[in-house]
Amino acid sequence: MPVLTATNIGKSFGARDLFAGITASVPHRARIGLVGPNGVGKTTLLRILLGMDDASTGSVHTARGTRIGYLPQEAILEGVQTLWQECQKPFETLIERQHELERLEKKMSDPEQAAEAMETYGRLQQEFDHAGGYTFEMRIRQTLTGLGFSREDQQRPLDQLSGGQRTRALLARLLLSEPDLLLLDEPCAGMNSEEKQDMIFWIKDIQDTLGVTILLIEHDMKMVMDISERILVVNFGKIITEGNPEAVQKNPEVLKAYLGEEEDGIRGVA
């Protein structure tokens, strides 16, 4: 059962037909790349899939209960800022309490201290269990840690983070809503090759560990090839081909129409 199915989607702006008859489905747990030259309508298509724009024709169907996370082309600094403030709220009290409980556990094995320690332990454990207010912060911490943020980086001010880290913070924010499908529109725009490499790792990792389905728009073909199990190529208002990276890379129509007829094919395109 696909996470999302688009049937016969068309979009016109006034008299201009941007695309027509786009039919595609996104299987559960897949990593799909969407590529095509500038201005063919990739972002518009993504917005239609999200329900942010209306299609002129056709329909989009998502599996029941599917939660979609969207990383737009321009990172929303406001979103990162909020997440960052949340994760920097001190929760040392909780950590201190944890340590105290551990110390008491040791004391409980000493017959002379056991009774008193057990009494204090019971009280602290109860308080600990009721510290529900900390749960969300814990989740933020866990998510950021899962995305490779060290404790030190989690406490750094936002302006001391690299572009790659900020994009990862945005991803963390999206993951907190536990999406089934992530739509990423050029998440690596403006990154250097090291940051891109890092991002490729994290996008794959998110899919592997959380089972999130990924639909990625990206101009960097090497990156798309690396991340995607399946690639859709859009040009001239339609999907000109789709397949695995190897097949797409060799497709003559892709080479001719989109990538230019370079000797070494797709790799020759910047």
Ligand X SMILES: Nc1ncnc2c1ncn2[C@@H]1O[C@H](COP(=O)(O)OP(=O)(O)OP(=O)(O)O)[C@@H](O)[C@H]1O
Binding site for ligand X (CB under 6 A): 13, 18, 36, 38-44
Looking at beta carbons only, is 43 or 235 nearer to Mg ion? 43
Contact segment (CB under 5 A) with Mg ion among 42-50, 82-90, 127-135, 201-209 equals: 42-50
Told to check if 56 binds Mg ion by CB under 5 A, we report: no
CA distances from residue 64 to 24, 61, 182 in whole angstroms, order as listed: 18, 9, 16
Looking at beta carbons only, is 18 or 60 nearer to ligand X? 18
Quickly list H helices, the chain: 42-50, 77-88, 92-107, 111-130, 135-146, 151-155, 163-175, 193-210, 221-227, 245-250, 252-254
CA distances from residue 38 to 21, 35, 41, 52, 219 in whole angstroms, order as listed: 19, 9, 8, 20, 9
Cβ-closest residue to Mg ion? 43
The entry of Mg ion, ligand X, none near residue 237 (CB within 5 to 8 angstroms by kind) is none
Told to check if 241 binds Mg ion by CB under 5 A, we report: no
The entry of Mg ion, ligand X, none near residue 13 (CB within 5 to 8 angstroms by kind) is ligand X
The C-alpha atoms of residue 105 and residue 223 are separated, in whole angstroms, by 50
Looking at beta carbons only, is 190 or 211 nearer to ligand X? 190
The entry of ligand X, Mg ion, none near residue 65 (CB within 5 to 8 angstroms by kind) is none
- Please report where in the chains the tokens 């690299």 appear, as a residue: 162
Q: How near is the Cβ of 196 to ligand X at its closest, in Å? A: 17
8-state DSSP, 53: S
Told to check if 235 binds Mg ion by CB under 5 A, we report: no
Interface with Mg ion (CB under 5 A), residue from 5, 7, 25, 43 = 43
- Please report where in the chains the tokens 């943020």 appear, as a residue: 149
Looking at beta carbons only, is 35 or 144 nearer to Mg ion? 35
Q: How near is the Cβ of 217 to Mg ion at its closest, in Å? A: 6
The C-alpha atoms of residue 209 and residue 80 are separated, in whole angstroms, by 23
Q: How near is the Cβ of 43 to Mg ion at its closest, in Å? A: 3
Looking at beta carbons only, is 36 or 187 nearer to ligand X? 36
List CB contacts of 237: < 8 A, sequence separation 6 or more. 17, 18, 19, 20, 40, 41
The entry of ligand X, Mg ion, none near residue 245 (CB within 5 to 8 angstroms by kind) is none
Answer yes or no: are the C-beta atoms of 41 and 53 closer than 8 Å: no
